[in-house]
Amino acid sequence: MIKNTLTYFLMMSACLVSHSVLLGQDEQSRAIFTSIGEDIKTGDATTFSQWFADDMEIDVLGNAGVCSKSQARQVMKNFYSRYTPKSFTIVHLSGTLPMRYCIGTLMAGGERFRVTLFVKSQRDSHKIQQIRIEKD
């Protein structure tokens, strides 16, 4: 009886601890992607590019490639010159440390875009490894 009660107590404790850790990760992911979203909707490629990894994958409206941070900044600058951002809304968050991703909706230039971001986190650093922007 005591053995069963102890086993039950340990299992419930493990579930509660893992649940609170996952909730903490979800809150941290939401905070990171909310900050990134705020920078996306500024329409300033320099501000947004502070999140970029040194080398990253970028696909903007079908033009895809692996490029440096400065090249990716130029791609975003070109995008912003055609489409002025109005809003960014997070639709879905997922992933586990160190890699997380977000799918969001960007309203820009009177059009709607689906934005997918993959972010790698290391300690207090969060860098976009891949960004995809496509018409929704």
* Domains in the chain: ranges and CATH: 2-135 (3.10.450.50)
pLDDT tens, position by position, for the chain (136 residues)? 565 554 555 454 444 333 333 344 578 889 999 999 999 999 999 999 999 999 999 999 999 999 999 999 999 999 999 999 999 999 999 998 899 999 999 999 999 999 999 999 988 899 999 999 999 9
pLDDT of residue 4: 56
pLDDT of residue 124: 85
Q: Are 70 and 53 in contact (CB under 8 A)?
A: no
Name the strand (E) or helix (H) holding 20. helix 2-40
- As beta bridge partners, residue 55 has 68
Give the C-alpha separation, 55 to 43, whole Å: 21
